Amino acid sequence: MDAQHEFQARSPRRGPSMAAVVFTALLFGLVAGFGGTVLAFWAMQHNYLSQLGLTLPGGNSGEPALVISPPSGGGGHPDFVRVADMLDESVVFINTTNEVPVPTWFGGVDTQVRKGMGTGIIVSAEGYILTNYHVAGDADRVAVTVMHQSGKKEYPAKIIGGDAQLDLAVLKIEAAGLRAARFGDSDALKPGEWVMAIGNPYGFEHTVSVGVVSALGRYLDTGAATRMRDLIQTDAAINPGNSGGPLVNMRGEVIGINTAVYVGGGGGGPQANSIGFAIPSNRAKKAVEQIRKTGRVQYPYLGVGFIDITEEMRRELHLPVKQGAVVNKVYPGSPAEKAGIKQGDVVVKADGKALFGTDALGSAIAKKSVGDTLSLELRRWDEHAAQWDTKSVQAKIADAPKAFLRSMQGGEEQPQEAQRQPRALPFPFGF
């Protein structure tokens, strides 16, 4: 009886509570899930690296840690450090001084000293240096600082010649054994290629910035005396002081001369970022040769004024093509007149290549040298047959006359500002 009472007095034994079971299950689930995630991530990474032919460094293997670099167009990884080192002694710092007369309050004239700076490129071991005309082309005094292995050295420089419209100038310093930069083929460039800009922005010597070729064949009107065509556009940082410096490809070759940057902000609009422009190296090389020989640049001359075709023009004139240029002027005695080109002709191809984009005909002419032959394909309206005929002409490029160059500097023959005179065109249609 006592034993029975003792048994009944004890608390009954119970199994684990439902809350404990749920908590334990959740804990094990979280641990298992986390472990599985880690293993899956490791396996995925390991498989990904193995597909690339790479392995993670072992603990005692002595292998270097994996370094991932930006990919290049050639399939490898660009070595920016190597490229910068290749140009280190070929890029120079330019300081300029100009003495500018300024009127005084009492009718006299005082002299104001203005200083400038920029960048240049050594183009020969004998001391010839290429830069922008707006950097040093009309300076009273020019000093060039060159980087040697033993340190920096400043030299006085002589202006050999230059061209304001092309924005290039050649200097000469009395030095020998300099490290000249190598020039590449700017015609081989493609948008998206890696490039490096080297210069002295705001006086910070030998600054390197990296970007890509954003576009090709850009046209810029920077003033009455400077209209540049066929420029390279890049997003590599270009600032005041970079002018005249090199734009370099990943082989360490100069493919452009940095010359301008677009800032925007006109009329209170937003500021632009990373829109810089460079003169193609092929044009710069030709200019250097001409300036060294004659002190001036020869301009390829066809002798036409033209208007790029727009969709509006095509519709209203019923033109037979969507791209190209309409000839609205032929200069007397010019290569164009001698080749039989007429006002109203529609130029659609130059040297077998279709004309696309702004100022495409101007770029095709500019790439020629004096004495070269330019092949053009035209469309000409035949009034008697009331149809467009296809014509092919060959024009021998001449050196532009001084009068033509003066008119260019005055904006008379700028394609974007040419006066349209539809009644003078031999089409049966008008605006």
* 44 belongs to a structural domain: no
* 222 belongs to a structural domain: yes
5 included as an active-site residue: no
- pLDDT in single tens digits along all 431 residues of the chain: 444 444 344 444 455 566 555 556 556 666 666 665 655 555 455 454 344 344 433 344 444 444 444 444 444 557 899 999 999 999 999 999 998 888 887 778 888 889 999 999 999 999 999 999 999 988 999 999 998 888 889 999 999 999 888 899 999 999 988 999 999 999 999 999 999 999 999 989 999 999 999 999 888 766 545 567 789 999 999 988 999 999 999 999 999 999 988 877 655 566 667 889 999 999 999 999 999 988 888 889 999 989 999 888 888 888 899 999 999 889 999 999 999 999 999 999 999 999 988 788 988 998 888 899 999 999 999 889 889 999 999 999 999 887 777 666 544 444 433 333 333 333 333 22
Nearest 5 degrees, angle CA 415-CA 419-CA 424? 115
CA-to-CA distance for 231 and 236, rounded, in angstroms?
14
Please state the pTM of the whole predicted model.
0.68
Residue that finishes a domain, picked among 238, 266, 294: 294
* 411 belongs to a structural domain: yes
Q: What is the pLDDT of residue 416?
A: 37
209 included as an active-site residue: no
Closest CA to 339 of 390, 415, 381, 392: 392
Residues 97, 205: one domain? no
134 included as an active-site residue: yes
Domain harbouring 287, CATH code: 2.40.10.10
* 136 belongs to a structural domain: yes
Q: What is the pLDDT of residue 424?
A: 34
Closest CA to 159 of 132, 183, 181, 182: 132
* 23 belongs to a structural domain: no
Q: 255: alpha, beta or left, given left = phi > 0 and alpha = psi -120 to 50? A: alpha
Residues 341, 417: one domain? yes
Residue that finishes a domain, picked among 173, 206, 227: 173
Residues 307, 222: one domain? no
Residues 96, 204: one domain? no
Residues 270, 375: one domain? no
Amino acid in the structure at residue 222: T
CA-to-CA distance for 288 and 284, rounded, in angstroms?
6
Residue that finishes a domain, picked among 173, 201, 220: 173
3-state secondary structure of 381: strand
Residues 253, 148: one domain? no
Domain count, the chain: 3
State the DSSP H helix or E strand holding residue 129, giving kind and residue range, or none if neither: strand 128-131
8 A C-beta contact, residue 312 and residue 288: no
CA-to-CA distance for 98 and 115, rounded, in angstroms?
6
Containing structural domain, residue 328 = 300-424
* 42 belongs to a structural domain: no
Q: What is the pLDDT of residue 297?
A: 86
Domain harbouring 330, CATH code: 2.30.42.10
Compute CA distances 38 → 128, 334, 388, 397, whole Å. Answer: 62, 77, 72, 70
Residues 280, 333: one domain? no
Q: Residues 90, 134, 230, 334: which is the catalytic one?
A: 134
State the DSSP H helix or E strand holding residue 22, giving kind and residue range, or none if neither: helix 18-51
Residues 276, 376: one domain? no
Q: Residues 214, 243, 281, 363: which is the catalytic one?
A: 243
* 48 belongs to a structural domain: no
Q: How much of the chain is helix, strand and coil, in % rounded to 5?
A: 25, 35, 40
b/e map 216-234, b = 16+ CB within 10 Å: bbbbbeeeeebbbbbbbbb
CA-to-CA distance for 375 and 379, rounded, in angstroms?
14
* 335 belongs to a structural domain: yes
* CB neighbour class for 405 (10 Å; exposed up to 12, middle 13-18, buried from 19): middle
Q: What is the pLDDT of residue 118?
A: 93
Q: What is the pLDDT of residue 65?
A: 41
Residues 162, 233: one domain? no
Residues 124, 164: one domain? yes
Residues 356, 269: one domain? no
Q: What is the pLDDT of residue 396?
A: 96
Q: 265: alpha, beta or left, given left = phi > 0 and alpha = psi -120 to 50? A: left
Residues 131, 159: one domain? yes
Q: Residues 167, 230, 308, 359: which is the catalytic one?
A: 167
